[in-house]
Homo-oligomer: A and B are copies of this chain.
Amino acid sequence: MLHILYIIAITAEAMTAALAAGRRQMDWVGVIIIACVTALGGGTLRNIILGHYPMTWIEHPEYILITAGASIGAALLASMMKKLKLMFLWLDALGLVVFTIIGCRLAMDLQMPMLIIVLSGIITGCGGGVLRDILCNDIPLLFRKEVYATASLFTGLVYIGIMQLGYGTHAAAIIAAVLGFILRLLAIRYKWQMPKFVYNEKEEF
């Protein structure tokens, strides 16, 4: 089931990334690259940092075709996607929790310490969006807006916490996904933001 959710998640991520590329007037090559980096970049970054080879998309090149296809589809159907915005926000939130749990589980399989398991989830969940923003020449949204990394952190903590209580990994994954998903949707609905640190001293160190 995690596998099916993963496919849905990379499709949703690719489609929203394609719109981000369209806002910057990229050509179709740019659209596809941005989509692949956004959908597959978080897991790739995590694997590079953990030294875990090969990449998922090298073992399953069909994932690249799915993201490329989804991004082209989104570009063609852009005007329609506008009306489906809410659905995409939901799918993006789904992607966040699914990616996070996959990232946690991989680090757990590699016998990583607790803190690294949580971090692996956050990198997998949020890394793709950060790479997208770097390529689009923006300050990553993640650092300034919305309870996004926080929802990923929360999902990871719940996932680990429930397993510590003696429950199986499946039960933990489902509960963590549902709670993380709800947190993210509430954050979108009520425009929750983390407190900001504003420092106006101009001179750089």
A residues sitting closer than 8 Å to B (CB atoms) are 16, 18-31, 33-34, 44, 48-51, 53-55, 58, 61, 64-65, 75, 78, 82, 85, 88-89, 92, 112-116, 119, 130, 134-145, 148-150, 193-205
Contacts and interface: CB of A to CB of B under 8 A. Distances in A.
A64 B119 contact: yes
Contact of A205 (B16, B26, B33, B201): B16
27 contacts: A19-B201, A19-B205, A22-B197, A22-B198, A22-B199, A24-B139, A24-B144, A25-B196, A26-B143, A26-B197, A27-B143, A28-B196, A33-B143, A44-B49, A48-B48, A49-B55, A50-B58, A51-B54, A58-B112, A61-B115, A65-B115, A85-B203, A85-B205, A135-B139, A136-B139, A137-B137, A141-B204
Given A134-B135, A199-B19, A194 B29 contact: yes
A82 to B, nearest CB: 6
Given A20-B204, A48-B48, A30 B134 contact: no
A104 B171 CA distance: 44
A18 B198 CA distance: 10
Contacts of A137: 137-139
Contact of A75 (B89, B112, B141, B197): B197
